[in-house]
A and B are shown apart, each in its own frame.
Chain A
């Protein structure tokens, strides 16, 4: 410990420069002009690259849909979300690069913004990609069986609309890229904590306009988590590669947390309208889905994966043969969505499992009974779903029986009864989930109609590769096509290989660095979609088995027996019939290197095997759009009890049981770690984490103070249980298990909350604010005289922040008036001000530094004075813009003489956006108060021409943010 080899720990090449990214404070705007001169003039800055520079030397990223929605590594012509990269500054060190980024002056022409996907598809919505013609980029309809007939014949139709929120699982290590352009062979050598899928490697190479062999991508030995998200480092790999080429030096970039939370990626939010055709007894005969998935501003490959990853498994654990589905892909002014653990599963199951609860309620049946009546029966595996998934194995009834057994369900029911008798709010939830493992690389082609697929040729499979090498003294080393994220893959692989060769796991050296120039890899490489157990682990098994067989043949010759008689154990190779007849593994293996003459005729010398595994079950989509989306299908059944605090509406998970069937467990301890990690992430989506935008597209969750990751204090105890129905499709019988609780836990808790509060619609995350608003309605206005903090977001068109105040300054109105209109004195008055220049007598431009909490940066303030009533009143309006955010507002100031002094009354209203808006309201308020105080203190000093004047700001408590602070923000 302490000797990690994470990407940011790796020593950089000599002469490495550092990059900082300039990001858009606007959710949607045209880029009018980028002035880089000030940044370039800063000592230590080497270069600034803009979208136009990038456009000339690279191509836009390939995307899955054939649609004109180009995206380069930097915004070109237009920005489409807050945080979008607009330029990069390359400098001697990171501090100077960030200073330089503050000095890049970008002029924007703001455009209307659309955040809600339902609004994005309306006729009058602003269109993000005008060439695409609409924000709905794809709408595909699918029909399996005869859903119309089933609905017509149904006893009843039960319907629901659910919305899965935006969230991300924010690995603790942010993105890191070190790119080095090698002029000699026009190639790029990049070290990055990218985690696959490596199907994106060709996308990067194409953008860089080089063949794949000239983009060498190296992944370091350690990674600080990914959960799918590190895929999205790829635009920055291209960006830093281009930067290195332009400056002729290696370029390093380390993303910071604020950048990560605003621009890395998030899971897509999805609005699902779901309907079930049901019989009296709760049997569901058909389902209809209308999925509207919001991918944010761009559709990065391999999006829209989440919408199709579960396609074959849309009917979940249920035997439902009729299904209709409409899948819509929508873009809005939010950060682009991409891979996040769970990948389409949480969205699907929130709809399906909430609906199953509704079916029970509307038919007045027991929810668990409704689940049970619809389950696929244990005798029907392998089971082909109506949408084409081939469920390998399972016994869902047994899993549920065990989970509820031994009094577990009775205990929950007793807790609920007791709580309800005492008038407390307590609810029980269930969730039943089929967890896919190892994605079929062809599933995404289902988005294209069959005739298009025909033309393009079939896409399918998922290739895993592992190399096992035995050296001349018999030591064993392994490389694999996966990247490390801490799932204990090395441990599991060494166990698999050691078992085959009769060695100890510690004898096996595993190197999970990945180098696209030297290692065996295919497009499925990387660590995501639970591909380890059903994929890479199998390839390791195959490679080790091939080594074992070869060593057995070599040994048979030396030991005068036949290969079938050879066994391995305790570091030896020996005859089964006569265990004394044997030799050390190392000795026999060494033969392959030292003594080719002793090799059996059937074998070549040397001892190195690459195991390649691509399961035949992963077929391309059929002409009827049936697709086996994954190789293995595990099962999860969760149940929980929650209690809701009547005073705060905080949800507390009282008891949680999670039952898993992941086939054969390769390593129970590692499995438990995966499941617990996923559980906390599911809990986070249910109750805490959300990426929030206001209606103007300003991000409101830009630090870990707003984006609430659960800590040890928030995590309830969880009982984990297992049954094992081995997969017949993987040699080890193992299935994926690392994502199940990301899928089951949000909806299990939502169901429990619905039960506790008798809700039909449960908003996620079910925060106290949301539940309060649902149960108690919006909060009433406070009694007169009591402050009311205004929420950060306001209705569109209104100023988000308003306030007023008054202050007494020891100077005459004339002196104050003069000070306020004089650029030189303003410079001294405005806290954090670097310069003020008068554009016209009534129009100023000021450069100021502003700091709120962890955010600090330089802004340009444009201030216009109007309604001038000399020495009495003025209206100030204008805007403030900088790399960290923007604000627009106006205020009114009146001056009233008061024996020897002047009372200044002010009111203001302001909209803020960009990174600044993403820090908490409390922090902004505090900063604003300090700045107001300083502003008037200094005004008093300057106007009275002396120090020591005792001005005291005494704004009414209702001010949440100060307009003055936005305009004249200070940092000290």
Chain B
């Protein structure tokens, strides 16, 4: 494992949304701050910085994780996916995105990126989730606007669409 000293500025390279990028971080810089301020990817939001709200969720080597609980240096050499990468990809997000719009699953949208990242991971592992399971995963996120109902509906519908059960353009609004 690499050792860094306090206040040392470290060059960090990572595979971000499929591209190799690098930037500078002090040893104590949070991954959220690195992504947002150093790399300029502001789609990942910060809602609590103590690991409860889920706004900052990204995928690290494919697995959804809270980027506010991680240091930038820990991401060195890893594969990180953020909502910006999702938006560029064709398949998964489009289904989720369409369903979110249709069910009004976002209002202020501040929680949305984190939720999309959690479910892009979850739905890739679980194609046919029960509503309870969706609620359980969603339970890792706080949304203050929607009351969650539209979110659950949207995610269930997106899962169905990704399984090919509904016409892929259903509900585009």
A94, A227, A681, A709 — most chain B CB neighbours (10 Å): A709
Q: Is the CB of A486 within 8 A of B106?
A: yes
Instruction: A713 to B106: give the CA distance in the assembly, Å.
Output: 18
Contacts of B107 in A (CB 8 A): 225, 485-488, 673, 677
Q: Is the CB of A172 within 8 A of B151?
A: no
- Given A2-B84, A172-B110, A680–B47 Cβ distance below 8 Å? no
Instruction: A703 to B47: give the CA distance in the assembly, Å.
Output: 11
Q: Is the CB of B49 within 8 A of A854?
A: yes
Q: Which residue of A lies closest to B142 (CB)?
A: A709
Scan B135-173; emit 1 where CB is below 8 A from any A CB, else 0. 110111111111111111000000000000000000000
Q: Is the CB of A171 within 8 A of B48?
A: no
Contacts of A172 in B (CB 8 A): 45, 47, 53, 55, 108, 110-111, 142-144
Scan A701-731; emit 1 where CB is below 8 A from any B CB, else 0. 0011100010111010010000000000000
A3-11, A123-131, A782-790 - the one binding chain B: A3-11
How many residues of B are in contact with the other chain, CB < 8 A? 53
Instruction: A227 to B29: give the CA distance in the assembly, Å.
Output: 31
Instruction: A487 to B108: give the CA distance in the assembly, Å.
Output: 7
B28 touches A (CB below 8 Å): yes
Instruction: A488 to B104: give the CA distance in the assembly, Å.
Output: 9
Q: Which residue of B lies closest to A227 (CB)?
A: B144
Contacts of A1 in B (CB 8 A): 43, 83, 86-87, 93, 97, 100, 106, 109, 112-113, 116
Instruction: A704 to B43: give the CA distance in the assembly, Å.
Output: 22
Interface residues of A in 451-488 (CB under 8 A from B): 484-488
Which one of A173, A669, A670 lies within 8 Å of B108 (CB-CB)?
A: A173
Instruction: A740 to B8: give the CA distance in the assembly, Å.
Output: 53
Contacts of B151 in A (CB 8 A): 712
A222 touches B (CB below 8 Å): yes
Distance (whole angstroms) from the CB of A375 to the closest CB of chain B: 28
Q: Which residue of A lies closest to B41 (CB)?
A: A2
Q: Is the CB of A703 within 8 A of B138?
A: no
A24 touches B (CB below 8 Å): no
Scan A7-26; emit 1 where CB is below 8 A from any B CB, else 0. 01100000000000000000
Q: Is the CB of B29 within 8 A of A222?
A: no
Contacts of B139 in A (CB 8 A): 711-713
B24 touches A (CB below 8 Å): no
- Given A677-B146, A703-B48, A705-B52, A171–B43 Cβ distance below 8 Å? no
Q: Is the CB of A4 within 8 A of B145?
A: no
Contacts of B93 in A (CB 8 A): 1
Contacts of A94 in B (CB 8 A): 33
Distance (whole angstroms) from the CB of B11 to the closest CB of chain A: 18
B50 touches A (CB below 8 Å): yes
Q: Is the CB of B150 within 8 A of A673?
A: yes
Contacts of A709 in B (CB 8 A): 142, 144
B82 touches A (CB below 8 Å): yes
B22 touches A (CB below 8 Å): no
Contacts of B49 in A (CB 8 A): 256-257, 854
A366 touches B (CB below 8 Å): no
Q: Is the CB of A677 within 8 A of B83?
A: no
Which one of A6, A670, A712 lies within 8 Å of B152 (CB-CB)?
A: A712
B26 touches A (CB below 8 Å): yes
B42 touches A (CB below 8 Å): yes
Q: Is the CB of A2 within 8 A of B144?
A: no
- B interface, by DSSP: helix, strand, loop or mixed? loop
Distance (whole angstroms) from the CB of B29 to the closest CB of chain A: 7
Contacts of B106 in A (CB 8 A): 1, 486
Instruction: A8 to B45: give the CA distance in the assembly, Å.
Output: 9
When A and B form their complex, what is the total count of cross-chain residue pairs whose Cβ atoms lie within 8 Å? 156
Q: Is the CB of B104 within 8 A of A669?
A: yes
A391 touches B (CB below 8 Å): no
Distance (whole angstroms) from the CB of B143 to the closest CB of chain A: 7
Distance (whole angstroms) from the CB of B100 to the closest CB of chain A: 8
Contacts of B150 in A (CB 8 A): 672-673, 676
Distance (whole angstroms) from the CB of B102 to the closest CB of chain A: 9
Instruction: A678 to B143: give the CA distance in the assembly, Å.
Output: 12
Interface size class of A (residues with CB under 8 A): 35 or more
Instruction: A2 to B106: give the CA distance in the assembly, Å.
Output: 13
B104, B106, B135, B151 — most chain A CB neighbours (10 Å): B104
Contacts of B152 in A (CB 8 A): 712
Instruction: A559 to B152: give the CA distance in the assembly, Å.
Output: 53
Q: Is the CB of A711 within 8 A of B104?
A: no
Scan B110-142; emit 1 where CB is below 8 A from any A CB, else 0. 111100100000000000000000111011111
Q: Is the CB of B109 within 8 A of A486?
A: yes
- Given A256-B49, A257-B49, A2–B135 Cβ distance below 8 Å? no
Distance (whole angstroms) from the CB of B10 to the closest CB of chain A: 14
Which one of A170, A257, A488, A718 lies within 8 Å of B144 (CB-CB)?
A: A170
Q: Is the CB of B29 within 8 A of A4?
A: no
Which one of A222, A672, A679 lies within 8 Å of B104 (CB-CB)?
A: A672
Contacts of B52 in A (CB 8 A): 703-705
Instruction: A679 to B144: give the CA distance in the assembly, Å.
Output: 11
Instruction: A257 to B97: give the CA distance in the assembly, Å.
Output: 28
Q: Is the CB of B82 within 8 A of A2?
A: yes
Which one of A170, A223, A676 lies within 8 Å of B149 (CB-CB)?
A: A676
Distance (whole angstroms) from the CB of A756 to the closest CB of chain B: 24
Contacts of B138 in A (CB 8 A): 711-713
Q: Is the CB of A224 within 8 A of B110?
A: yes
Q: Which residue of B lies closest to A679 (CB)?
A: B147
A172, A174, A488, A675 — most chain B CB neighbours (10 Å): A172
B97, B107, B145 — most chain A CB neighbours (10 Å): B145
Q: Is the CB of A485 within 8 A of B108?
A: yes
A95 touches B (CB below 8 Å): yes
- Given A1-B112, A2-B82, A9-B42, A676–B146 Cβ distance below 8 Å? yes
Distance (whole angstroms) from the CB of B26 to the closest CB of chain A: 7
B107, B112, B152 — most chain A CB neighbours (10 Å): B107
Q: Is the CB of B43 within 8 A of A2?
A: yes
A378 touches B (CB below 8 Å): no
Distance (whole angstroms) from the CB of A18 to the closest CB of chain B: 10
Scan B62-105; emit 1 where CB is below 8 A from any A CB, else 0. 00000000000000000000111011000001000100100010
Contacts of B148 in A (CB 8 A): 676, 680, 711-712, 715
A859 touches B (CB below 8 Å): no
A–B pairs, 25, beta carbons within 8 Å: A1-B83, A2-B86, A2-B87, A2-B113, A3-B43, A4-B42, A4-B110, A9-B42, A172-B110, A172-B111, A172-B142, A172-B143, A174-B47, A222-B109, A225-B108, A225-B144, A258-B50, A672-B150, A673-B107, A673-B150, A677-B147, A704-B52, A705-B52, A711-B140, A713-B138
8 further A-B contacts with Cβ under 8 Å, apart from A172-B53, A172-B142, A712-B152, are: A1-B112, A2-B87, A8-B36, A8-B42, A225-B145, A257-B49, A673-B150, A712-B141
Which A positions have Cβ atoms within 8 angstroms of B? 1-4, 6, 8-9, 94-95, 169-174, 222-225, 227, 256-258, 484-488, 669-670, 672-673, 675-681, 703-705, 709, 711-713, 715, 718, 853-854
* The 10 nearest A-B residue pairs measured at CB: A676-B147, A224-B110, A486-B108, A2-B43, A486-B107, A854-B50, A704-B52, A9-B42, A2-B83, A712-B138
